[in-house]
Structure 1
Amino acid sequence: MSREIIAILRGVKPDEVVAICETILEAGIDRIEVPLNSPQPFDSIGLIAEAFGDRALIGAGTVLTPEDAQRVKEVGGALVVSPDTNPAVIKKTKELGMQSFPGVMTPTDCFAALRAGADGLKFFPGNLVGPAGLKAMRAVIPAEVPAYAVGGAGPDNFAEWAAAGATGFGIGSAIYKAGCSVAEVRAKADAIVASYDKALA
């Protein structure tokens, strides 16, 4: 079962990223992003793309420029996630054959992203949009467009978000915080998966 969850490993370091990624994959989450404001992010992305790229969607978050998207591709990444809607980043990402999930918060953002070629939408910050906001926007966003809630979405409200039209979630600190051990990450990932499966069954 492929779960629509992106694990966000903000703050992860290259010397720990492979073990952490491996335990997340074992828990049943196969989409992983390393935000570019992490230590040596391209090194981390390259390591996990090499190790797991054949069975996971690996890429970068907090991608702000086309040049950053190019570097993600060069190290083996296949996913570009941004906090904003930048048509230049989206277009470059698609030119390079990667998946694009830009950050949106308004209908204007949503349609600008889709016109630029985005594969899906990252509703961020989710706690500001809220399930009610997403539900209202879902009335006009094409049904086939993936909608990920990021920031403010978690095990306690997966079902509410899903009922509002969310098809997936980006999960950061609820899975990984800088300094977490592999065992801690596995326990958190198992809990996220169990909650997701229950809410979206």
Structure 2
Amino acid sequence: MQPHINLPAPYMPHAGLIAAFEACPLIAIMRGITPVDAADHGRALYEAGFRIVEVPLNSPNPFDSIAAIRQVLPADAIVGAGTVLHPSFVNDVKAAGGELIVMPHSDSEVVIAAKALGLACSPGVATPNEAFLALKNGADVLKMFPAEQLGANVVKAWRAVIAKEVPLVPVGGITPDNMGPFLSAGANGFGLGSALYKPGQSAAVTGSHARAYINGLRIARAGAQK
């Protein structure tokens, strides 16, 4: 049994994000989505079982896409922005209806800005120092990025020192077939990029990929419990 580990600050995660994450711990990264296509792809993801959708800000007109997805999905889904590189964007995300800020880095100013506006935040972390600083600043979920470089052994090492209440979410190179070792090491969910969605693909393809991930997660969970 893992001994009790005190967090560097009271851990009070965003309730909506945690509820969505518990329903489906797969985060759809829709890099390159356009506003005209966003709603259809959002629906396809939701129908497949996804409950968290992220539109990176280096996509075309990302705030319009966030608004479009938010408008068509039920309240139990969380819609947010990825690749948020500066705190000035946090207000724009909230104005578009976004509830989640995802970052490739762990800039304290972005995390603090997100939490000040009542948004959930998932900063990218690659070292224990970054992870604990992010938690100190109010992070809800730790995005372990890039997962290809960190690997399952790093997840296992981090899980030994990061409180079990804190979700560890590897991002980068995750496929429907390689989630098992990460789950066995202590990961809680995954961020999914180009293997789930590429610009220009149809909503039907996105839905098919999403269902493959849902099935892969089921198989990986069964294997991790053996």
Shift in Å at residue 55 of structure 1? 2.7
Q: Distance in 2 between matches of 1:158 and 1:145?
A: 18
Residue 58 (structure 1) aligns with = 79
Q: Distance in 2 between matches of 1:146 and 1:187?
A: 26
What value does the CA root-mean-square deviation take over the aligned residues? 1.1
**Match status 1:70 vs 2:86:** no
**Match status 1:179 vs 2:210:** no
Shift in Å at residue 152 of structure 1? 2.2
Q: Distance in 2 between matches of 1:21 and 1:160?
A: 29
| Structure 1 outlier segments of 4+, above 6 Å | none
Residue 143 (structure 2) aligns with = 122
178-187 vs 30-39, greater mean Cα deviation: 178-187
1-10 vs 107-116, greater mean Cα deviation: 1-10
AA aligned opposite 1:91: I
SS of equivalent to 2:55:
strand
28-37 vs 41-50, greater mean Cα deviation: 41-50
5+ residue gaps, structure 1: none
Q: Distance in 2 between matches of 1:9 and 1:126?
A: 18
Q: Distance in 1 between matches of 2:195 and 2:23?
A: 19
SS of equivalent to 2:23:
coil
Contact 1:100–1:120 (8 Å) recurs in 2: yes
For residues 40-119 of structure 1, what are the structure 2 equivalents within 5 Å?
Answer: 40-52=61-73, 54-119=75-140
Q: Distance in 2 between matches of 1:195 and 1:5?
A: 11
SS of equivalent to 1:200:
helix
Shift in Å at residue 187 of structure 1? 1.0
Q: Render the CA deviation track for 1:132-151: whole Å, top value 9, x for unaligned.
A: 11111111111110110100
Q: Distance in 1 between matches of 2:191 and 2:50?
A: 11
Residue 200 (structure 1) aligns with = 221
| Identical positions, percent | 45
Within the candidate set 158, 181, 203, 1:137 is matched to: 158
Q: Distance in 1 between matches of 2:167 and 2:211?
A: 23
Q: Render the CA deviation track for 1:145-199: whole Å, top value 9, x for unaligned.
A: 0110100222121111001111010001121100111111111111111111221
Q: TM-score under structure 2 normalisation?
A: 0.87
Q: Render the CA deviation track for 1:5-63: whole Å, top value 9, x for unaligned.
A: 00000000000000011011000011000000000001100111122151310000000
Q: Distance in 2 between matches of 1:131 and 1:153?
A: 12
Count of aligned residue pairs for this structure pair: 201
AA aligned opposite 1:145: V
Residue 37 (structure 1) aligns with = 58
Contact 1:36–1:61 (8 Å) recurs in 2: yes
